[in-house]
Amino acid sequence: MLASILASGLAVGAVYALIGITYNTMFSTSRVMSFTAGQLGMLGGVFGSLFILRLGLPVIPGLLATLAVCALIGVVTEIVAVRPVLKSLDQHLYVLSTLALALLIQHATALEWSTEPQPFPRLLGLGAGIWDEKYWLPVVACIVTILGLEYLYRYTLVGRAFVAIAEDNFAARALGLPERNLRMASYALAGAVGALAGFSGGQLLLAFFANGPLLNFYGFIPVALGGLGNNRGAVIGGLLLGLFQQAANFMVGGIFSSVAVFTLFIVVLLARPQGMFGAPQARRV
Amino acid sequence: MPITRRGLGLAAAATGLAVPALAQSEPIRIGWLAALTGPSSAPAVGFNRGVMYAAEAINGAGGVKGRKVEIITRDTQGDPTKAVNATQEMISQLRVHAIWGPTNSGESLAVTAIMARAKMPNIHPCVVDSLIDPAKYPNAFRIAPSNTQWDDAVRGYTLNIAKVKKVAVIGDTTGYGVSAANASATAFQKDGAEVVYKANIDATQPDMTPDMLRARNAGAQAIIIWSVSTGMIARLLNTRANMGWDVPFIGHPALASGEIGALIDKPANWEKVYAIGYKSCSYDASGKLPPRNEELLQRLQGKVNLHDTLLWWVACGIDAVDLVAKAVEATGSVTKEAITGHWNGLKDYPGYFGEYSFTATDHNGYPVKDVVMSAASSGKNGTFALAPGYG
């Protein structure tokens, strides 16, 4: 039982963590919590299944095509649902615009793809039992993503420009950084990360249009637990969430595990409103 | 020529005199509330093939006492609001003589009272028990099993044919899944069986191992499923195989959905799975349907595609149109009272889907003995093999 909890808990936790990183990546350059993050995860599974199973592409080209299409959807999100409301961030209109786009994506997927879960291909054909690839692929994808992002932010010019925009938007613009282009690039990156979440977890979650809201909710929790904008916090929060959820599934059953998860979430936020790894923000008065 | 009040009165009288002659030859208008597009459109697409086939067959044979059958279809897209609007249109503008559908319970719950107010003769195949109540809805007749009848059939097969006494009852977390699982567990206990495990599972839960382990540890000898979620069912079947457990799955027709075949890890995972089916549309050990439907199948060949639908949907659609036509033929009238009155007296009407009987106090027309269990993975031309144990 413990092995099952660890295997599936870490797998779904890694998917949640990747969606958390998707939220953070979009938030860092725009200060917007885009509720399309979960839909990008859902599309990762759907496009993966479409390209590999239906269109017959090999795995690597199928993955690259999935990442590219979702990156494009990330850019469209920025243009359609984020840019128009950036001037009135304090009115939180982005909640409405990104939720509307998320619903649009979900319904379009239901109409054009299927309302029933569709199979997702076996990618490598490795492992069995608790060592099956469906359990460890999301964890590997999560590790690769967090290492890649660390490299990007620390050692590349574009990554440093992202950090600069995230730290102080106005100062970065004053220095001549192309803020709009960088924001679009960060949304493309978020689209690819979200797609990777759905693609690597496709064998667990299947290619199903209703995965979007699920990933939106459970992907948001690591962000809140780990601290907004903190990718390392999102990874730790996501993995802990997956393990706790799966342990609750075994101990108290499916319906009550959701109750347990949200109870823990509220308790943690009551104790540390800034998240487990976030620092309290000072506000000048 | 000036228009005078007297002239208008004469014209109206002349039109009135002509009405009876016109009524004798006017077509029999059947409203068809069909969710032909959108989610859950598969059943209506199947029903529609039967409806069109029946209408063409009747009209091709000269109609009903010289009257053609006219099918007036409105696509409700599975949306109760659209179903309400279409019903209002059929009653007040199109002036149909009877309505067939809707074909899902959500829509039917929204329109049943509206049809009752208009006393519109209505046949539908929806399973929710409360949709049939001859006191409240004397115009509404069901030609498919109710939820209770499904439940009875599953319990009957489990206890009397599979000879299982310890069951695990599993539903999904939808309103239907919760209420069906509760009703099923209560009925099993009432019949002396032991419900060793009961659970409602979120259909999107990626790993079903916890629930299957608990069911096995509790000593379940059969898993009773109440869910339409093919993803959840496929995950449960894959988990059963991974556990090396050969417990039978018995329950909802969705267990036999073709989608499951694509979602299971290997075809063997779909063995020992028995879904609700119908005697009229199930083939025996020799691969034959009951004679009447074997003959129907021959007639449908080349005219109605059965590869991507179920025979019972098509047969039920044919029966619905035939029932209206027979009522008009028997009474010589298209009035609401005549059609409803005729149906109230039907006994063992030989439809293709079932033998229907109605009385003034019972509008559940489908015989429970015709609800059987099918081998879920045996789908062939929209028909299924009978589950093991039937004589």
B234, A117: Cβ pair inside 8 Å?
A: yes
Distance CA B83, CA B33 (A): 7
Judged against a pLDDT cut of 60, whether residue B7 lies above it is answered with: no
Share of chain B above pLDDT 70, in %: 93
Tokens standing for residue A30: 């725009």
- Predicted pLDDT of residue B165: 94
**Do the chains contact at A250 and B210, CB–CB below 8 Å?**
yes
H, E, C per residue of chain B:
CCCCHHHHHHHHHHHHHHHHHHHHHCCEEEEEEECCCCCCCHHHHHHHHHHHHHHHHHHHCCCECCECEEEEEEECCCCHHHHHHHHHHHHHCCCCCEEECCCCHHHHHHHHHHHHHCCCCEEECCCCHHHCCCCCCCCEEECCCCHHHHHHHHHHHHHHHCCCCEEEEEEECCHHHHHHHHHHHHHHHHCCCEEEEEEEECCCCCCCHHHHHHHHHCCCCEEEEECCCHHHHHHHHHHHHHCCCCCCEEECHHHHCHHHHHHCCCHHHHCCEEEEEEHHHEECCCCCCCHHHHHHHHHHCCCCCCCCCCHHHHHHHHHHHHHHHHHHHHHCCCCHHHHHHHHHCCCCEECCCCEECCECCECECCCHHHEEEEEHHHCECCEEEECCCCC
In this prediction, residues B362-377 reach a mean pLDDT of: 93
The answer to whether B210 faces chain A, any CB pair under 8 Å, is yes
Residue A278 lies in a domain: no
Ramachandran area for residue A260 (φ above 0: left; ψ -120 to 50: alpha; else beta): alpha
Give B211's contacts in chain A (Cβ within 8 Å): 249, 253-254
Mean pLDDT within B309-314: 90
Q: What is the pLDDT of residue B391?
A: 66
Q: How many CB atoms lie within 10 A of CB B1?
A: 4
> What is residue B69's predicted lDDT score, i.e. its pLDDT?
97
Q: Would you kindly state where each structural domain of chain B is located, as residue ranges? A: 22-146+295-366, 148-281+373-385
B319-333 pLDDT per residue, tens:
999 999 999 999 999
pLDDT computed for residue A282 by the predictor: 64
Contacts of residue A217 in chain B, CB cutoff 8 Å?
none
CB–CB contact B207 A8 (8 Å): yes
In a domain, A280, yes or no: no
Cβ distance of A8 and B242 shorter than 8 Å: no
- pLDDT of the residue at B11: 52
Nearest CA in chain B to A207: B231
CA-nearest residue to A120 within chain B is B263
For residue A255, the chain B residues in CB contact (below 8 A) are 173, 199-202
The residue-averaged pLDDT of A124-148 equals 92
**Pair B275, B254: CB distance under 8 Å:** yes
> Is residue B315 over pLDDT 60?
yes
Q: Which residues of B67-89 are buried (b: 16+ CB within 10 A; e: fewer)?
A: bebbbbbbbbbbbbebbbebbee
Domain-embedded: residue A36: yes
Q: Given this model, what pLDDT does residue B19 score?
A: 45
CB nearest to B202's CB, from A116, A119, A254: A254
The mean of the pLDDT values for chain B is: 90
Percent of chain A with pLDDT over 70: 96
Cα separation values, A127 from A1, A5, A63, A131, A135, Å = 18, 17, 20, 5, 9
- Residue B113 C-alpha, separation from nearest chain A C-alpha, in angstroms: 29
Q: A117 and B263: CB-CB below 8 Å?
A: yes
Per-residue pLDDT tens for B217-259? 999 999 999 988 888 999 999 999 999 999 999 999 889 988 8
Does the distance separating the beta carbons of B259 and A117 come in below 8 Å?
Answer: yes
Residue A274 is given by DSSP the state: T
Q: Is the pLDDT of residue A272 over 90?
A: no
User: What is the torsion angle, in degrees rounded to the nearest 10, for the CA atoms of residue B171, residue B175, residue B178 and residue B182?
Assistant: -130
- pLDDT band per the 50, 70, 90 thresholds, residue A278: low
Q: pLDDT digits over A158-172, tens only? A: 889 988 888 888 888
Confidence of residue A275 (pLDDT cuts 50, 70, 90): confident
User: Given the DSSP bridges, would you call strands B222-226 and B249-251 parallel, antiparallel or unpaired?
Assistant: parallel
pLDDT at A236: 92
- Whether residue A108 is contained in a domain is answered as yes
Is A276 domain-assigned? no
Contact across the interface for B204 and A208, Cβ inside 8 Å: yes
Q: Looking at the 3D structure of chain A, how many domains does it have? A: 1
Secondary structure of B153-200 as H, E, C letters: HHHHHHHHHCCCCEEEEEEECCHHHHHHHHHHHHHHHHCCCEEEEEEE
Judge whether A215 lies within some domain. yes
Q: Please, what is the Cα angle at A221 between A217 and A223, to 5 degrees? A: 120
Put simply, whether B169 touches A (Cβ < 8 Å) is no
CA geometry: angle B146, B148, B153, nearest 5 deg: 100
Q: What is the reported pLDDT for A173? A: 84
The pLDDT of residue A285 is 66
Return the residue in A114, A116, A118, A241 with the most chain B beta carbons within 10 A, the one to mutate for interface testing: A116
What pLDDT digit, counting tens, does each position of A112-134 carry?
A: 898 888 999 999 988 888 889 99
CB-nearest to A110 from B39, B230, B231 is B39
- Is A214 in Cβ contact with B230 (below 8 Å)? no
pLDDT at B18: 46
Report the mean per-residue pLDDT for chain A.
90
Q: What pLDDT is attached to residue B257?
A: 84
Scanning every residue of chain B, which has its alpha carbon at the shortest distance from the alpha carbon of A206? B231
The pLDDT assigned to A284 comes to 67
**B22 interfacial to chain A (CB closer than 8 Å):** no
> B52-98: per-residue pLDDT in tens?
999 999 999 999 999 999 999 999 988 899 999 999 999 999 999 99
Q: Judge whether B62 is closer than 8 Å to chain A, CB to CB.
A: no
CATH number, domain at A74? 1.10.3470
Could B202 and A250 be called an inter-chain contact, meaning their C-beta atoms sit closer than 8 Å?
no
Least trusted range by pLDDT, from A67-76, A262-271, B290-299: A262-271
SS (H, E, C) A61-110: HHHHHHHHHHHHHHHHHHHHHHHHHHHHHHHCHHHHHHHHHHHHHHHHHH
B36 touches chain A (CB under 8 A): no
Which has the minimum average pLDDT: A279-283, B115-119, B365-369?
Answer: A279-283
CB contact under 8 A, B230 and A117: yes
Q: What is the pLDDT of residues B262-289, one digit of tens each?
A: 899 999 999 999 999 999 999 988 888 9
Note whether residue A281 is domain-resident: no
Answer yes or no: is A177 within a domain. Answer: yes
What value, to the nearest 5°, has the Cα angle with vertex A72 and ends A68 and A78?
145
For residues A87 and B240, the model is more confident at B240
| The amino acid at B3 | I
Are B206 and A250 an interchain contact pair (Cβ–Cβ within 8 Å)? no
In this predicted model, what pLDDT tens digit does every residue of A50-70 receive, in sequence order? 999 999 999 999 999 999 999
Interface of B with A in 235-254 (CB under 8 A): 242
Closest CA to A193 of A138, A271, A252, A113: A138
What pLDDT, on the 0 to 100 scale, is given for residue B17? 45
Lookup: tokens for A81: 């649902």
Question: Average pLDDT, stretch A212-238?
Answer: 89
Which structural domain, as residue segments, surrounds residue A195?
A: 2-271
> pLDDT value at position A14?
96
- B308 Cα distance to chain centroid: 17
* DSSP β-ladder status, B122-124 and B140-142: parallel
CATH topology of domain B22-146+295-366: Rossmann fold (3.40.50)
Nearest CA among B304, B308, B297, B279 for reference residue B384: B279
Tokens of A133: 């690839």
Contact of B308 with chain A, judged by CB distance below 8 Å, is answered with: no
Residues of chain B found within 8 Å of residue A246, distances taken between Cβ atoms: 207, 210
> In 3-state terms, what secondary structure has residue A120?
coil
pLDDT reported for residue B293: 93
How many Cα atoms sit within 13 Å of A227 on the Cβ side? Answer: 13
pLDDT band at A81 (very low <50, low <70, confident <90, very high): very high
* Contact between B122 and B44 (Cβ < 8 Å): no
Checking if the pLDDT of B16 tops 50, the result is no
- The reply to whether B22-146+295-366 and B148-281+373-385 are identical in fold is yes
- CB distance A205–B211 less than 8 Å? no
Separation CA B307–CA A156 (nearest Å): 57
Inter-chain contact A116–B231, Cβ cutoff 8 Å? Answer: yes
Cβ of B200 under 8 Å from any chain A Cβ?
yes
Using an 8 Å CB-CB cutoff, list residues of chain A that contact chain B.
1, 4, 8, 11-12, 110-111, 115-119, 129, 201, 204-206, 208, 210-211, 214, 246, 249-250, 253-255, 258
| CATH number for the domain running over B148-281+373-385 | 3.40.50.2300
Beta-carbon contacts of residue A157 (< 8 Å; ≥ 6 apart): none
Judge whether residue A136 has pLDDT over 70. yes
Higher-pLDDT residue of A169, B350: B350
CB contact under 8 A, B210 and A206: no
- Interchain contact, B263 vs A206, CB within 8 Å: yes
| Other CB atoms within 10 Å distance of the CB of residue B42 | 18
DSSP state of A118: B
Cβ–Cβ gap A208/B199 under 8 Å: no
